[in-house]
A and B are shown apart, each in its own frame.
Chain A
Amino acid sequence: MTEKLVIIGAGMASGRMLEHLFETSHNYEVTLFGSEPRGNYNRIMLSAVLAGEKAYEDIVTHDADWYAANGVDTRFGHAVTRIDRTARTVFANGVETPYDKLVIATGSAPFILPIAGHDLPGVRAFRDLDDVNAMLSAADCPGSRAVVIGGGLLGLEAAAALRGRGMHVVVLHLAGHLMDRQLDPAAGYLLERELGRRGIKIHCRAQTKAILGTDRVEAVLLEDGTIYEADLVVMAAGIRPETRLATDAGIEVQRGVVVDSAMRTSNPNILALGECVEHEGAVYGLVAPLYDMAKVAAKTLVGEAAAFVAPKTATHLKVTGVNLYSAGDFAEGEGREEIVLRNAASGIYKRVVLAGNKVIGTVLYGETGDGAWFFDLIKRGTDISQMRDTLIYGQSYGGGAVADPLAAVAALPADAEICGCNGVCKGKITDAISAQGLTSLDDVRAHTKASASCGSCTGLVEKLLMATLGDAYNPAAIQPMCNCTELGHDEVRRLIIAQELKSIPAVMQELGWKTSCGCAKCRPALNYYLVANWPGEYEDDGQSRFINERVHANIQKDGTYSVVPRMFGGITNVKELRAIADVAEKFDVPTIKVTGGQRIDLLGVKKEDLPAVWADLNAAGMVSGAAYAKGLRTVKTCVGSDWCRFGTQDSTGLGIRIEKFMWGSWTPAKLKLAVSGCPRNCAEATCKDIGVICVESGYEIHFGGAAGLDIRGTEVLCHAKTENEAIEIIAALTQLYREQGRYLERIYKWMKRVGIPSIKAAVVEDLARRQQLFERFVYSQQFAQVDPWEERVNGKDAHEFAAMAELSMLQAAE
């Protein structure tokens, strides 16, 4: 029996908890409340959105599809106002929702200084997307001024971003140096100098007295009488756990909602996690421990034992161009020693704090490459007495060798943590790279989540790719689409959708193409992405297609063409065969060949004859076989139950139905199908892009086979009971491939890249998603099923098939 799980708060902690929960169980009926009118996004990256380095869409971690796929009932924009512990219900918008288990994940609330004027319009926290939008509109006015109260991590990221947007920015900080909880005074000074150089005014030891203004904020007044004019005041003076609901419900609350190591509150049916909780006297504001809590809470929910252990944390300031890292305890104290390295000229400051023979803290400024290594020494409590003299120079120091970051990464032990946010260690990443054949950063993100949150370990992950793959990893060759752009296929595709780019010039303009007109690599890819994303809206750009798709025939080595009419399911008849024979005779076709896809190829047709050849084939009812297309090619069949004594189903009929339904569709690379009437598999369906094996109980659907450069058998996708179900699954699978495949990436490579589970989840397990994919395919087909031959017989692109001028006669006349 399913239990009701209600979650209050749709932030990063509860989002991660749901991911873990659904990995093991779908036994809960989940209702998710969020006070923001949107689902979970990567809040750490709000500063990147504010700085304009990312769009909101880029930082969404769970979209509507994800919630739907996992059956989560989402109530976004519904703030829960009361918990009734006795009745086991929560109230939001006047609606009562019962629970068996409740999770409080209300996060934290920004601390707003209780000073005069704190409620004036123009005073914002820096907590959610609405705050970011408000700050962005303030930054839109030229010459506008911002005062940021609080020189901690959040305040400085806001200040740098607003300065980058052209605002005059003052940072007010209560302590004697910036980021005093994470940095020592020396590093604080270097940071202040760098930010000052960027035009940000830093005022330390600033006691804010009041915010001045009548209708909206006008200035900020300090205790010492200083006044800073302001159009925007950002309160970044700290956060406090948001505990009001728990307090009202009589749950034990100290600084935060008190939880045990299994994330249970004082009420056993109520769990809490994230920034709102207090565990063994400590509260947490960084993402890594929250993710650990998420893991534990998910286990507790399914009744497995798990315990949260307070982790050591490291901090990385996300201000582009400022390298700053700190971890552990770096306060001075009795019995502690420190090792400091400074290079004033290059602005480098490194400090390692030792207690006995162990590293207990580090602060790095300017050069942070060894941060992960120091952090690892801290966590392990490694005895460093043997390397004490060279410790400060970092991991790769030895015998005067130049610091080699790659060697440093290669030397890390397998359990060294690489991604702090997601707790991913080196071994997990290198194993995934080797075992799953990962070749790019995106692959690693998809399979391990490393570098998928704050992104500050991206450099380390890339070095791991280099160290693991050697020369086979060439980020420059793999990632950008071509030399016209730095963007990879997936990024371009995301941006085409996010920015609603609907023409090749729009893509090139908005995405900063380095060439005016693209090249022969990117133009066909862009054309495909636009065709696939905007059916019925985008006008196909023939000049961006390879010649075969432009003239709907296959160019041969001598510049002639081959012509292959469609034979649905490999079935033909006397009329078609006679027409083909007549055409071959009439146009002196030198070679007639039977193809591997069960149809007939006319080779050596002169380009200028193509329209006339097509006209004759059209007249016999034949259409283009698209034997040249990055699109649906053939559906090969055996004779099945019509003739074969072993046939279990009408494989020929199903093949014809599939081909009639799917012809004309464009796909990232060619798509070849087959339907075999029994497991003897005479149609060779198990090495096709998509194959069907008929069995007594229905249809086994396969995909991801290859019999070309690579040879591999298919994977079984699922079983379908009826022909209609089989067709719906095949179309949904094709549509998913159309939407995710990179141009020229065959289906088996796409499958390997995104992983079979994600494909099964979308096409097999989530029926609503399958239906949506199917409908998008059907919608697109109404624009795609136009015979290109008939169009050209009727005069389209006539310039393609005739010379512009015949000057040899003119010469003879002269």
Chain B
Amino acid sequence: MSPITWVEIGALADVPRRGARCIITAFGKIAVFRTATDEVFAIDDKCPHKGGPLSQGIVHGAQVTCPLHNWVFSLETGEAQGADKGAVRTYPMRSDGGRLFIDASILSAAPAA
């Protein structure tokens, strides 16, 4: 296991509370979420159901509701909630001194690894 290399992606303040912003990688968009209590999470910006952009959903607690068909995902585990089955990939994130960092390995390896 190599140690995590953190890449800075912007400021905490760039992401609205109970909202999300996207970062663009060679492997697709990653949605960066900020909760009402300033926790941050990163997941794939693509609902496993019909590909909806999760970054556009309503954020409640540590969950997001997909804007297309209302699937709800845990931002912590990436698992679909309730009766729906499925999951999105989650990515390690760090908030430090108002700056946000993401695990750099996402930039060089395919997510399926």
Residues of A within 8 A of B51 (CB): 558-559
Residues of B within 8 A of A547 (CB): 56-58, 67
CB-CB nearest in chain A for B59: A543
Whether A807 contacts B24 in the complex (CB less than 8 A), given A520-B70, A543-B19, A799-B14, comes out as: yes
Residues of B within 8 A of A750 (CB): none
How far does the Cβ of A367 sit from chain B's closest Cβ, in whole Å? 38
| Partner of B67 from A523, A546, A806, A811 at Cβ < 8 Å | A546
B2 at the binding interface (Cβ < 8 Å): no
A463 to B3, CA, bound (A): 63
Residues of B within 8 A of A543 (CB): 16-19, 58-59
Judge whether A806 and B61 touch: CB under 8 Å.
no
Judge whether B67 and A804 touch: CB under 8 Å.
no
Residues of B within 8 A of A557 (CB): 50, 68
Judge whether B67 and A807 touch: CB under 8 Å.
no
How far does the Cβ of B72 sit from chain A's closest Cβ, in whole Å? 7
Residues of B within 8 A of A803 (CB): 21-24, 29
B85 at the binding interface (Cβ < 8 Å): no
A810 at the binding interface (Cβ < 8 Å): yes
Residues of B within 8 A of A667 (CB): none
Judge whether A811 and B107 touch: CB under 8 Å.
yes
B15 at the binding interface (Cβ < 8 Å): yes
A151 at the binding interface (Cβ < 8 Å): no
Residues of A within 8 A of B35 (CB): 517
Residues of A within 8 A of B14 (CB): 799, 804
A23 at the binding interface (Cβ < 8 Å): no
Residues of A within 8 A of B52 (CB): 559
A34 at the binding interface (Cβ < 8 Å): no
CB-CB nearest in chain A for B23: A805
How far does the Cβ of A791 sit from chain B's closest Cβ, in whole Å? 16
CB-CB nearest in chain A for B37: A516
Whether A814 contacts B68 in the complex (CB less than 8 A), given A516-B61, A547-B56, A799-B21, comes out as: no
How far does the Cβ of B59 sit from chain A's closest Cβ, in whole Å? 7
Residues of A within 8 A of B58 (CB): 519-520, 523-524, 543-547
CB-CB nearest in chain A for B56: A547
Judge whether B25 and A808 touch: CB under 8 Å.
yes
Residues of B within 8 A of A807 (CB): 7, 9, 23-26, 107
Judge whether B107 and A810 touch: CB under 8 Å.
yes
Judge whether B56 and A804 touch: CB under 8 Å.
no
- Binary per-residue interface labels of chain B (22-42) against chain A in the complex, 1 for a CB within 8 Å, 0 otherwise: 111110010010011100000
Residues of B within 8 A of A545 (CB): 58
B86 at the binding interface (Cβ < 8 Å): no
Judge whether B60 and A520 touch: CB under 8 Å.
yes
A517 to B57, CA, bound (A): 14
- Measured as residues with beta carbon below 8 angstroms from the partner, the interface class of chain B is 35 or more
Residues of B within 8 A of A806 (CB): 23-24
A518 at the binding interface (Cβ < 8 Å): yes
B111 at the binding interface (Cβ < 8 Å): no
| Partner of B60 from A517, A548, A812 at Cβ < 8 Å | A517
A543 to B61, CA, bound (A): 12
A386 to B113, CA, bound (A): 79
**Contacting residues of chain A (539-576) with chain B, CB-CB under 8 angstroms:** 542-548, 550-551, 555, 557-559
A267 at the binding interface (Cβ < 8 Å): no
Residues of B within 8 A of A517 (CB): 18, 35-36, 59-61
CB-CB nearest in chain A for B28: A808
Judge whether A814 and B107 touch: CB under 8 Å.
yes
How far does the Cβ of B20 sit from chain A's closest Cβ, in whole Å? 9
**Contacting residues of chain A (505-549) with chain B, CB-CB under 8 angstroms:** 515-520, 523-524, 542-548
| Partner of A804 from B22, B36, B107, B108 at Cβ < 8 Å | B22
How far does the Cβ of B92 sit from chain A's closest Cβ, in whole Å? 15
A332 to B60, CA, bound (A): 64
A48 to B87, CA, bound (A): 48
Residues of B within 8 A of A523 (CB): 58, 60
**Contacting residues of chain A (789-814) with chain B, CB-CB under 8 angstroms:** 799, 803-808, 810-812, 814
Residues of A within 8 A of B48 (CB): none
CB-CB nearest in chain B for A551: B56
A543 to B59, CA, bound (A): 8
Residues of A within 8 A of B72 (CB): 519-520
A546 to B59, CA, bound (A): 10
Judge whether A804 and B61 touch: CB under 8 Å.
no
A810 to B107, CA, bound (A): 8
The residue in B7, B15, B56 that gathers the most chain A C-beta atoms within 10 A of its C-beta is: B56
How far does the Cβ of A118 sit from chain B's closest Cβ, in whole Å? 57
- Binary per-residue interface labels of chain A (702-743) against chain B in the complex, 1 for a CB within 8 Å, 0 otherwise: 000000000000000000000000000000000000000000
Residues of B within 8 A of A524 (CB): 58
A519 to B59, CA, bound (A): 8
Residues of A within 8 A of B32 (CB): 804
Judge whether A804 and B15 touch: CB under 8 Å.
yes
How far does the Cβ of A384 sit from chain B's closest Cβ, in whole Å? 50
B74 at the binding interface (Cβ < 8 Å): no
Residues of A within 8 A of B23 (CB): 803-807
Judge whether A804 and B21 touch: CB under 8 Å.
yes
A563 to B35, CA, bound (A): 30
Residues of A within 8 A of B9 (CB): 804-805, 807
CB-CB nearest in chain B for A516: B61
Residues of B within 8 A of A814 (CB): 107-108
How far does the Cβ of B43 sit from chain A's closest Cβ, in whole Å? 14
CB-CB nearest in chain A for B30: A807
A520 to B18, CA, bound (A): 11
How far does the Cβ of B75 sit from chain A's closest Cβ, in whole Å? 12
| Partner of B61 from A515, A551, A555, A808 at Cβ < 8 Å | A515
Residues of B within 8 A of A515 (CB): 60-61
A524 to B65, CA, bound (A): 12
A248 to B53, CA, bound (A): 80
Residues of A within 8 A of B18 (CB): 517, 543-544
CB-CB nearest in chain B for A560: B53
**Contacting residues of chain B (51-98) with chain A, CB-CB under 8 angstroms:** 51-53, 56-61, 63, 65, 67-68, 70, 72
Judge whether A805 and B10 touch: CB under 8 Å.
yes
Residues of B within 8 A of A805 (CB): 9-10, 23-24
Judge whether B22 and A799 touch: CB under 8 Å.
no
Residues of A within 8 A of B67 (CB): 546-548, 555
Residues of A within 8 A of B68 (CB): 555, 557
A814 to B26, CA, bound (A): 13
How far does the Cβ of B56 sit from chain A's closest Cβ, in whole Å? 4
Q: List 26 A-B contacts (CB under 8 A).
A: A515-B60, A517-B61, A519-B60, A520-B57, A520-B60, A520-B70, A524-B58, A543-B16, A543-B18, A543-B19, A543-B59, A544-B18, A547-B57, A548-B67, A555-B56, A557-B50, A799-B21, A803-B22, A804-B10, A804-B23, A805-B10, A806-B24, A807-B23, A807-B26, A808-B24, A808-B26
Could you list which residues of chain A lie within 8 angstroms of chain B, going by C-beta atoms? 515-520, 523-524, 542-548, 550-551, 555, 557-559, 799, 803-808, 810-812, 814
Given contacts A544-B18, A546-B67, A547-B57, list 19 more A-B pairs with CB under 8 A: A517-B60, A519-B60, A519-B63, A520-B60, A520-B72, A543-B19, A546-B58, A555-B53, A557-B50, A799-B21, A803-B21, A803-B24, A804-B14, A805-B9, A805-B10, A807-B9, A808-B24, A811-B25, A814-B108
